[in-house]
């Protein structure tokens, strides 16, 4: 949205073009615009707007999906406020998001720099994307087996190195970091690609000027690349943070919320309450809370990192 607004602002003024006459022309545009928007709009309304509104409605009901929803007002929300598992899921998810985002962004930035300066072969650039082409479930299961305590290959190597075996998925301390690293591994290539595309958009002449002024590579990175990359980085952060909050499939196919409650992340808890325990009203209410949290996080990121302004202007 913000890019649209920005383009409109920075577009060259149409000095020579004749002024459109009245509302007729605009209405004509509207029809064509609607025609082009329609396919996306229908999908958006049926698969996003309607389910969201219905979800908000269901969050005020008691509903086991096979019967009819009964209105219970704020009961679900007051119950959630007192539900230790909900607060646990927030803490666990927060831990996951923090580890995942910090690692992923740092590594992706490094990879993007390498793609930009060193690894110019398409083959190598493509290879960085390979983990991302794997389905989440496959990636999770692959690592689940490789990291298995008893018969996993990684623990065999650890033992050969003379170190004690690690219960990567089984111990409460390791379960979340393990999954955060697996998903970092899967997503960093893609994130690097986005950042790399942003780097390509930085005009070469600023680097030439920096070189002439005798800036070191580190200074160039800190003073030129990072600031000019900010809008792209903000966009990448907003998207990856939202994606990270929604971690579900990895947990679902590996630890299933355990050990004890160590990986009962918020999406998994929603799934458990709604689909496993048939408490769709309660599940919807947590989903609404997650929706509000994500909206707030995205807003704060856009606001404070000034994602809609570029220093190139």
What residue ranges bind other proteins (CB under 8 A)? 38-40, 42-44, 46-47, 64-67, 144-145, 147-152, 165, 167, 169-172, 175, 254-255, 257-261, 264, 272-273, 275-279
Distances from the Cα of 70 to the Cαs of 55, 60, 80, 289, in angstroms? 14, 8, 18, 20
CB of 155 to other proteins, least distance (A): 10
CB of 64 to other proteins, least distance (A): 7
DSSP annotation of 62 reads: E
CB of 269 to other proteins, least distance (A): 10
CB-wise, 240 or 252, nearer to other proteins?
252
Cβ atoms within 10 Å of 77's Cβ, excluding its own: 16
- The first and second tokens of residue 183, run together, are 């998903």
3-state secondary structure of 61: strand
CB-wise, 152 or 198, nearer to other proteins?
152
H/E stretch holding 167 reads none
CB of 81 to other proteins, least distance (A): 17
CB-wise, 181 or 210, nearer to other proteins?
181
CB of 116 to other proteins, least distance (A): 29
Beta-carbon contacts of 57 under 8 Å, excluding residues fewer than 6 positions away, are 69
CB-wise, 175 or 289, nearer to other proteins?
175
Q: Which residues of 115-136 are buried (b: 16+ CB within 10 A; e: fewer)?
A: bbeeeeeeeebeebeebbeeeb
Dihedral through CA 30, CA 32, CA 37, CA 43, nearest 10?
Answer: 110
The residue count of the chain comes to: 313
CB-wise, 68 or 213, nearer to other proteins?
68
CB of 82 to other proteins, least distance (A): 12
CB-wise, 116 or 252, nearer to other proteins?
252
End-to-end CA distance of the chain: 19
- Nearest in space to 234 (alpha carbons), one of 311, 313, 306, 312: 306
CB-wise, 261 or 310, nearer to other proteins?
261
- The first and second tokens of residue 187, run together, are 């997503």
CB of 237 to other proteins, least distance (A): 24
Residue 269 CA to residue 286 CA, distance in Å, equals 9
Q: Which residue's structure tokens are 């949205």?
A: 1
């Amino acid at each position: 949205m913000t890019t649209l607004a920005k383009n409109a602002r920075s577009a060259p003024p149409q000095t020579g073009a004749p002024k459109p006459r009245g509302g007729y022309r605009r209405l004509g545009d509207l029809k064509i615009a609607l025609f082009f928007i329609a396919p996306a709009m229908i999908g958006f309304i049926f698969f996003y707007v309607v389910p969201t509104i219905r979800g908000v409605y269901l969050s005020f009901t008691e509903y086991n999906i096979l019967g009819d929803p009964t209105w219970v007002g704020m009961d679900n929300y007051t119950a959630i406020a007192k539900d230790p598992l909900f607060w646990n899921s927030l803490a666990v998810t927060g831990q996951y998001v923090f580890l995942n985002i910090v690692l992923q962004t740092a590594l992706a930035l490094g990879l993007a720099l390498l793609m930009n300066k060193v690894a110019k072969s398409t083959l190598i650039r493509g290879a960085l994307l390979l983990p991302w082409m794997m389905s989440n479930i496959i990636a999770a299961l692959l690592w689940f087996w490789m990291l298995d305590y008893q018969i996993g290959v990684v623990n065999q190597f650890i033992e050969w190195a003379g170190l004690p075996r690690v219960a990567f998925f089984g111990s409460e301390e390791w379960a979340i970091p393990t999954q955060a690293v697996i998903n970092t591994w899967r997503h960093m290539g893609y994130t690097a690609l986005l950042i790399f595309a942003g780097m390509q958009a930085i005009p070469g002449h600023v680097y030439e000027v920096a070189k002439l002024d005798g800036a070191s590579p580190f200074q160039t990175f800190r003073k030129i690349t990072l600031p000019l990359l900010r809008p792209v980085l903000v966009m990448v952060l907003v998207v990856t943070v939202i994606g990270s909050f929604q971690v579900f499939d990895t947990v679902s196919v590996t630890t299933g919320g355990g050990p004890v409650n160590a990986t009962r992340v918020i999406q998994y808890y929603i799934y458990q309450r709604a689909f496993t325990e048939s408490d769709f009203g309660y599940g919807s209410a947590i989903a609404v809370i997650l929706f509000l949290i994500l909206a707030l996080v995205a807003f704060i990121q856009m606001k404070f990192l000034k994602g809609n302004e570029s220093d190139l202007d």
